[in-house]
C-alpha cells in the first residue's frame, strides 16, 4: 500500500526507531513528528502526555498514514491503550518489543530499566517483563537529565560523561543485572556513554530494532507493505527549533534531511 508509516516522539529520540524502520523497510515512506517544543514528556502529567500525543496523532492522520508507531516510551505507557481502542489503523509502541528483546538476551533474568520519570513511575516495563516471565527481577531508575541533554545535542564529551556517570550510579551499585533496557528512545543517542559507565558485562537493549521487526511483521500480515520499487521521500516535522532538530537528525540518520515546522491543533 502506497501510504506512509507515521512515527511520533516527544523530540529527537524517536529517530533511533525511525532509523531502524528505514534500514529494515527501505521502501516504506515515513512521516516523523517530534514535539521538541514541549519535550521532555517525562515530568509531565498523564493527562498532558495523552493530550499532546493525540495532537501529534491527529496531525499524522490528516496525512493518511497506514500505521502509527509511538516511538516514545512515556507516550506508550500513558496513551497506547487509548490509541488502540480508538484508531482503526495498526498501532505499535516501544515498550513490549523492548521487554521481549531483553528477555531473549538476559542470562540471569535480572534486568535493569532506565527511562523518564513518567515511564518509570508507570511501571510499564516491569509489568511487560513480568507478563512474559513472572520470575524476572527488575531494577528501574529514572534518569531525568538525559533527555534535555540529548535534545541540546550534547551526546559526548566531559559533560555527557559526567551526567551519565552520576545518573547511573544507583543502578551501577546493583551490579547483578546482566541486561539494561534503554527505556527512552533518546537514550540510544548516548549509548556509548551508558555502556562505558554500566560496564561491558551488561547487554544494552534498545527497542528500535525489535519495534521495526514488529512493524514489518504486522504490515506483512495485513498485506499493507509497499511492494513496488522506489526511494521513499521521508518527511520530518518538529514543533521546536528546526536547526537543532536538523543537525541531530542528519547526524543520526547519516543523510541530509528536510525538516518543517508542525502546527498542532490544540
Instruction: Decide which of 3.40.50.150, 3.40.50.1860, 3.30.1330.10, 2.40.170.20 is the CATH code for 5-93+209-261.
Output: 3.40.50.1860
Rg (CA), the chain: 17
User: Coil, strand or helix: which one is 110?
Assistant: strand
- 95-207: CATH topology is Rossmann fold (3.40.50)
Question: Given 72, 94, 138, 202, which residue is catalytic?
Answer: 72
pLDDT of residue 175: 63
Active site residue 143: no
Question: Given 184, 204, 205, 259, which residue is catalytic?
Answer: 184
Q: Which three cell numbers stand for residue 166?
A: 552520576
Do you find a cis peptide bond into 40, omega within 30 degrees of 0?
yes
Beta-strand relationship, 137-142 and 179-183: unpaired
Nearest to 9 by CA among 254, 252, 231: 252
3-state helix, strand, coil in the chain (%, to 5): 45, 15, 35
| All structural domains of the chain with their residue ranges | 5-93+209-261, 95-207
pLDDT of residue 77: 94
* Run of H or E residues at 210: helix 207-221
User: Which residue shows C-alpha cell 551499585?
Assistant: 173
| Predicted TM-score of the model (pTM) | 0.91
pLDDT of residue 116: 93
- Any idea what DSSP says for residue 4? P
Residue ranges in the chain modelled with pLDDT below 50: none
Domains 5-93+209-261 and 95-207 share a fold: yes
C-alpha to C-alpha distances, 44 to 30, 73, 230, nearest whole angstrom: 27, 13, 40
Active site residue 72: yes
Amino acid at each position: 500500500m502506497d501510504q506512509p508509516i507515521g512515527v511520533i516522539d516527544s523530540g529527537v529520540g524517536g529517530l533511533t526507531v525511525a532509523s531502524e524502520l528505514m534500514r529494515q523497510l527501505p521502501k516504506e515512506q515515513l512521516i516523523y513528528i517530534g514535539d521538541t517544543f514541549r519535550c521532555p514528556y517525562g515530568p509531565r502529567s498523564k493527562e498532558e502526555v495523552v493530550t499532546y500525543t493525540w495532537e501529534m496523532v491527529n496531525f499524522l492522520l490528516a496525512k493518511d498514514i497506514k500505521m502509527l508507531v509511538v516511538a516514545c516510551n512515556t507516550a506508550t505507557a500513558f496513551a497506547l491503550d487509548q490509541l488502540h481502542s480508538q484508531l482503526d489503523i495498526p498501532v505499535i509502541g516501544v515498550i513490549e518489543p523492548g521487554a521481549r528483546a531483553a528477555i531473549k538476551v538476559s542470562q540471569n533474568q535480572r534486568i535493569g530499566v532506565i527511562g523518564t520519570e513518567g515511564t518509570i513511575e508507570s511501571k510499564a516495563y516491569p509489568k511487560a517483563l513480568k507478563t512474559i516471565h513472572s520470575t524476572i527481577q527488575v531494577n528501574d531508575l529514572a534518569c531525568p537529565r538525559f533527555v534535555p541533554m540529548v535534545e541540546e545535542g550534547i551526546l559526548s564529551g566531559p559533560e555527557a560523561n559526567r551526567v551519565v556517570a552520576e545518573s547511573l550510579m544507583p543502578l551501577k551499585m546493583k551490579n547483578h543485572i546482566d541486561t539494561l533496557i534503554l527505556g527512552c528512545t533518546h537514550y540510544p543517542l548516548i549509548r556509548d556513554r551508558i555502556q562505558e559507565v554500566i560496564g561491558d558485562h551488561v547487554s544494552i537493549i534498545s527497542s528500535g530494532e525489535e519495534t521495526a521487526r514488529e512493524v514489518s511483521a504486522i504490515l506483512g500480515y495485513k498485506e499493507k507493505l509497499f511492494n513496488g520499487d522506489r526511494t521513499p521521500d521521508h518527511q520530518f516535522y518538529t514543533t521546536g527549533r528546526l536547526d537543532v532538530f536538523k543537525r541531530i537528525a542528519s547526524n543520526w540518520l547519516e543523510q541530509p534531511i528536510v525538516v518543517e515546522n508542525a502546527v498542532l491543533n490544540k
